[in-house]
């Protein structure tokens, strides 16, 4: 029964992905309770096909239906406000759509390549996963950046936070992806200059597009750079690596470079999956999620180069400490009470 339940959940997740991609949820949110024909007309879809999807979504508990006993064409379906918020509102802390997009559009779509990689004992380039994975991964963390990051830094790095409001402060955002975190840091600290860097040129191009129109162009910049290689040194009060170190083939080298980027008194801030200190056969559901993502994405891309640390998503605190120690950094583990993430503050080792 457990495998049946997992299969059912996977199939229903695919139908949610379909609803997002074809605009059916948005059509329902726009027009309110509607018949299949009305939804189809609004979204530019086939009435018979959308009727099947609407009935399936009602049975799955995503939609409500009025007058279920009426003929199929006359039933009116509604997307409840709380479900609309979770699926359609990127500004909401409850937005869950990226968790639909990532597994289905990003991971399931490349399963044949993943099978081949496992058989060949090789990793996969991040580019194989495509735009759905890239954007889904970025948007998954939007709620953290929008609703938690400022408070976390103020509470747990108060000395750094105070200095970030002084003109001339500098932040480096390592593995910035499409620049969501970089632009957020610029918004939170208007006196600071922020530089985002990423090894992926397509992500950096997306970051520059995101920057356009924000008004931050005079103090935000992006560059294509391997964070494990040489780069600017000794200028950043804060160096951030958000949800990325576990993906990197050479995490010690990256942390060593992060240390070299620090200005006197600066710190490296990591945000990484919140997993238990030790392996268990009965992990929390959040750790089960991290393990699945590791098998399907993070470990393969972490093994796309050689040599590689082959870390994976389930990077436990002891592993972070060992990487940091090898890079000449001391580690402070910070539990922020988040379901998916914890913070690590790294400072140059004394002596």
Do residue 23 and residue 118 come from a single domain?
Answer: no
pLDDT, tens digit (0-9, with 9 covering 90-100), for 98-123: 888 888 988 999 999 999 999 999 99
Residue 24 domain-assigned (yes or no): yes
* Inter-CA distances, 32 with 28, 36, 42, 53, 76, Å: 5, 12, 11, 16, 9
Which residues are paired to 198 by β-bridges? Answer: 224
Number of domains in the chain: 2
Q: Does residue 94 lie within any of the structural domains?
A: no
Q: Are residues 110 and 84 in the same domain?
A: no
Please tell me whether residues 223 and 301 are part of one structural domain: yes
Question: How would residue 307 be classed by pLDDT, with cut points 50, 70 and 90?
Answer: very high
Residue 288 domain flag: yes
Residue 29 falls inside a structural domain: yes
- Shared-domain flag, residues 185 and 234: yes
Do 71 and 6 fall into the same domain? yes
Residue 150 sits in the same domain as residue 258: yes
Judge if 17 and 133 occupy the same domain: no
Domain boundary among 88, 121, 146: 88
CATH code for position 206: 3.40.50.150
Say how far apart CA 81 and CA 66 lie, in whole Å. Answer: 15
Q: Which two tokens stand for residue 313?
A: 């998503």
Inform me whether the pLDDT recorded for 197 exceeds 90: yes
Q: What is the pLDDT of residues 45-102, one digit of tens each?
A: 999 999 999 999 999 999 999 888 999 999 999 999 999 999 999 989 889 898 888 8
Dihedral sign computed on CA atoms, order 35, 36, 38, 39:
positive
Question: Within a domain: residue 278?
Answer: yes
Range of the domain at 13: 2-88
Q: Is 223 helix (H, G, I), strand (E, B) or coil?
A: strand
Q: Are residues 204 and 253 in the same domain?
A: yes
Pairing, β 193-198 against β 170-174: parallel
> Is pLDDT at 193 greater than 90 in this prediction?
yes
* Residue 170 forms part of a structural domain: yes
């Amino acid at each position: 029964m457990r495998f049946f339940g997992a299969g059912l959940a996977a199939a229903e997740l695919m139908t949610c992905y379909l609803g997002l991609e074809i605009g059916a949820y948005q059509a329902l949110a726009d027009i309110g309770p509607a018949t299949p024909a009305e939804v189809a007309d609004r979204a530019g879809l086939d009435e018979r096909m959308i009727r099947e999807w609407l009935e399936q979504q009602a049975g799955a508990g995503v939609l409500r239906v009025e007058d279920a006993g009426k003929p199929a064409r006359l039933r009116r379906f509604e997307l409840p406000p709380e479900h609309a918020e979770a699926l359609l509102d990127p500004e909401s802390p409850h937005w869950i759509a990226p968790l639909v997009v990532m597994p289905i559009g990003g991971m399931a779509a490349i399963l044949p390549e993943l099978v081949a990689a496992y058989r060949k004992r090789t990793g996969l380039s991040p580019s194989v996963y495509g735009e759905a994975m890239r954007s889904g991964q970025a948007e998954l963390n939007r709620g953290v950046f929008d609703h938690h990051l400022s408070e976390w830094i103020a509470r747990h790095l108060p000395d750094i936070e105070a200095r970030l409001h002084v003109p001339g402060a500098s932040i480096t955002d390592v593995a910035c992806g499409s620049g969501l975190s970089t632009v957020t840091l610029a918004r939170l600290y208007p006196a600071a200059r922020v530089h985002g860097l990423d090894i992926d040129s397509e992500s950096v191009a997306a970051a520059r597009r995101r920057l356009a129109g924000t008004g931050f162009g005079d103090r935000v910049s992006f560059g294509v750079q391997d964070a494990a290689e040489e780069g600017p040194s000794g200028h950043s009060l804060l160096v951030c690596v958000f949800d990325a170190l576990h993906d990197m083939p050479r995490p010690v080298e990256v942390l060593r470079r992060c240390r070299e980027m620090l200005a006197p008194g600066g710190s490296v801030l990591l945000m990484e999956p919140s997993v238990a200190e030790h392996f268990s056969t009965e992990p929390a559901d959040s750790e089960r999620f991290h393990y699945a993502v590791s098998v399907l994405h993070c470990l393969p891309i972490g093994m796309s180069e050689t040599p590689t640390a082959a870390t994976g998503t389930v990077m436990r605190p002891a592993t972070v400490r060992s990487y940091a120690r090898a890079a000449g950094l001391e580690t402070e583990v910070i539990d922020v009470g988040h379901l998916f993430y914890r913070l690590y503050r790294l400072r140059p080792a004394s002596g």
